Structure 1
Amino acid sequence: MRMQAALAALALCGTLALTACDGDDEAGAPGTPAGPSVSAPATGAASPPSSPSASPPSSPSAVASLSSAPSKKPTPTATSSAAPAGTKKPPAPGSTCDHKMPISPDEVAVYRYTPEGGVHSLIIKHGNWGCAAPGADAAPFETTGKETFLNIAEDAKITAVTPVVASTVSQSITLQQLIDWLIAHPNQGRVFRYHLDGAGVIDSLDQQYTS
């Protein structure tokens, strides 16, 4: 009987021991967290971008190389056509003649003679001097406007050169000599400098040599 009682006690102890072990398994092994496990962040997750900051050069030589770097902005080369102060720019060829000269106040081209109205009159055109061609002896007299007339006195002092007279030096002639030449050679437009008296009549007439 004692033997059976001892075996029964051992069996009860074994049952209790097993029950205790099952409780420990359900509660979890020592050192293991009782709550749900936290998963580690995925290794592929992007980290927040760091703010860019320019780091200063690490050495004085780097600073010098940056400050001496040439600018890439092109600088146009300024060219000046102005002449230095105190000097005159030489005129361009052919630019010394001014085509916009005013009408000559005392020179006319004489074309014909007319006795209309009972007075001696010269048919003329006003104008000015143009530009002489290369190699020419004189500049041309460029007429403008319409033909008009000027009365000339019977005793006007008149000088003439070629082709009115056979000379390149001024020669005194009479009004009748001039009239005869104009009738024989009309519309040649020979240039004369004239002077008017108080009545507006030519009292002197000098032919200008134009070759």
Structure 2
Amino acid sequence: MGGRGTAIRGPRRLRRQAACAALVLCGALALTACNGDDGSDAGAGAAGTTPGVSPVSPSAIPATSAAPAGGATPSAAASSKKPAPTATTPAKPKPPAPGPTCVPKASISPDEIAVYRYTPEGGSTSLIVKHGNWGCAVAGGATPFVTVGEETFIPIAEDAKISAFTPILPTTVSTPISTHELTSWLETHPNKGLVFHYNVNKAGVIDTLGQEEYTS
């Protein structure tokens, strides 16, 4: 009996060991199948990513800003720009300061004439003259004698007291000359218009004639 019981127990033990081994093998296969499913899912989720680089979540991407570099807002950047320079109108030149006012003499001087020529007609010597007045100084400082009206003639006495200087005489000092010396110069230098101060006697004949120092 003892030997048979030992023999019976031996096969049963082997069957239990085989059953346990089969259960362990099934458990291992089930665990492997589960791990394979997880790996395939992880591989599908990670498709398109570079190995070793963690995928970036959308929340980690910084939002882009329309503000210009430097942190300034668009309105601040626009206001910081300097306005374009505008064209300026050149300043008009100032008019020259008014000079001293020139007040000429009367329209016709009663005792001054411009002598141009002479004529011996009528049996006496007459000077061909124009009346006028002194104007305002011109360029160079010369003061012109402004004549008025047409030429006329005034008789001159043969013994009239006459004084003259340049250009009639080669001197700047007033020097007495005769009527003949004056008419001789006028004959060779007509229409010069030299200005003389004159005086007439009761007969209307020039008896005094003096060349003016301020002729043009």
TM-score of Structure 1 vs Structure 2, range by shorter chain: 0.5 to 0.7
Structure 1: which 5+ runs fail to align? 1-90
Tell me, yes or no, if structure 1 residue 141 matches structure 2 residue 145: yes
1:98 is aligned to: 103
The correspondence of residues 184-195 of structure 1 with structure 2, limited to 5 A, is: 184-195=188-199
1:117 is aligned to: 122
Do the aligned residues in 2 keep the contact of 1:161 with 1:208 (CA within 8 Å)? no
Taking only aligned residues, the RMSD between alpha carbons, in angstroms, comes to: 1.7
Residue aligned with 1:147, SS? strand
- Listed one character per residue, the Cα deviations across residues 12-65 of structure 1 (whole Å, up to 9, x for unaligned) are xxxxxxxxxxxxxxxxxxxxxxxxxxxxxxxxxxxxxxxxxxxxxxxxxxxxxx
1:161 is aligned to: 165
- Listed one character per residue, the Cα deviations across residues 130-186 of structure 1 (whole Å, up to 9, x for unaligned) are 0112441x4110101000000000100000011000111101000000010000000
Q: Which has the higher helix share?
A: 2
Do the aligned residues in 2 keep the contact of 1:130 with 1:140 (CA within 8 Å)? yes
- In 2, distance between residues paired with 1:135 and 1:113? 30
- In 1, distance between residues paired with 2:157 and 2:205? 6
Counterpart code for 1:208: E
Q: Give runs of ≥4 in structure 1 deviating > 6 Å.
A: none
- In 1, distance between residues paired with 2:187 and 2:139? 33
Name the TM-score, length of structure 1 as normaliser.
0.54
Residue aligned with 1:150, SS? strand
- Listed one character per residue, the Cα deviations across residues 64-91 of structure 1 (whole Å, up to 9, x for unaligned) are xxxxxxxxxxxxxxxxxxxxxxxxxxx9
Do the aligned residues in 1 keep the contact of 2:105 with 2:134 (CA within 8 Å)? no
Question: Aligned residue pairs: how many?
Answer: 119
Do the aligned residues in 2 keep the contact of 1:161 with 1:207 (CA within 8 Å)? yes
- In 2, distance between residues paired with 1:198 and 1:99? 30
Larger Rg: 2
What percentage of aligned pairs have identical amino acids?
59
Name the TM-score, length of structure 2 as normaliser.
0.52
